[in-house]
Amino acid sequence: MTVPTPMEAALPATIALVDDDRNILTSVSIGLQAEGFQTRIYADGEAALRALSDKPADLGVFDIKMPRMDGLTLLRRLREKTAMPVIFLTSKDDELDEELGLAEGADDYIAKPFSQRLLVARIRAILRRSLKAEAGSDDPAGDGQIVRGKLEMIPDSHRVRWDGSDVALTVTEFMILEALAQRPDVVKSRNQLMDAAYQEDVYVDDRTIDSHIKRIRRKFRQVDPQFDSIDTLYGAGYRFSAA
């Protein structure tokens, strides 16, 4: 059983669930409450917009494809009033939706069908990062900036630039790249990268890390087709080269 942090124990985080599938709303809500979270559920984007504009949750989990108002529109409208972190639920391999979601300001995405344990791990990771950013918001010198050649990472604001161009990464992708960039030219095994990206007791196989690396490379190659700073060491893992 996951032991909550002192802050979680004192003040449970509230998660807003928005999905037109009642079965998903019910099952996810029950699962999150069992993990110590409070939940607010909405069956469509318009109802969620009205409620969350007045009283944002600590984090939102939005389905992208919904009638009346889709998740992308909901996020776009909410971003006018709140920086509430958001995880998108997407159709499997729907990369266009994922990229649009990140461009609109989503923090992460999970493809359906998904593991409840994986969702909880992503939620906890994003909430930890949000708390860290809030704690360091009054300390501009304490942003933990990482600069490796053309790469610039600012962990507290979750920003990534390559040769001056922004690169939109999910929280999980950011954590994997951060683990590699912290020690350039040092090989990190898949297990080490899994530990960095999934800090809760969540099982993911090697192919999950490989998929994340492919997505990271593809995103960097969108701003620099010659990007080749993440090396694959077959049988060993991956390394970041700053050269």
What would the mean pLDDT of 200-217 be, rounded to a whole number? Answer: 75
Average pLDDT value for residue range 205-213: 77
DSSP 8-class letter at 51: H
What's the average model confidence in pLDDT over 136-144? Answer: 51
Residue 25 has pLDDT above 90, yes or no: yes
- Is the torsion defined by CA of 102, 156, 223, 204 positive or negative? negative
What are the start and end residues of each CATH 3.40.50.2300 domain in the chain? 6-135
Residue spans of beta strands (DSSP E) within 123-236: 146-148, 151-154, 159-162, 165-166, 230-233
pLDDT number for residue 5: 46
Sort 45 into a burial class: Cβ within 10 Å, 0-12 / 13-18 / 19+: buried
Specify the pLDDT at position 205.
Answer: 61
| Predicted local confidence at residue 62, as pLDDT | 95
Residue 162 has pLDDT above 90, yes or no: yes
Residue-wise pLDDT for 74-89, tens only, equals 999 998 888 889 999 8
CA dihedral 137, 142, 148, 154 (to 10 degrees): -10
For the domain made up of 140-240, the CATH class stated in words is mainly alpha
Angle between helices 171-181 and 190-197 (to 10 degrees): 130
* Range(s) of the chain covered by CATH 1.10.10.10: 140-240
Please state the CATH superfamily assignment of the domain spanning residues 6-135 in this structure.
Response regulator (3.40.50.2300)
Q: What percent of the chain has pLDDT over 70?
A: 83
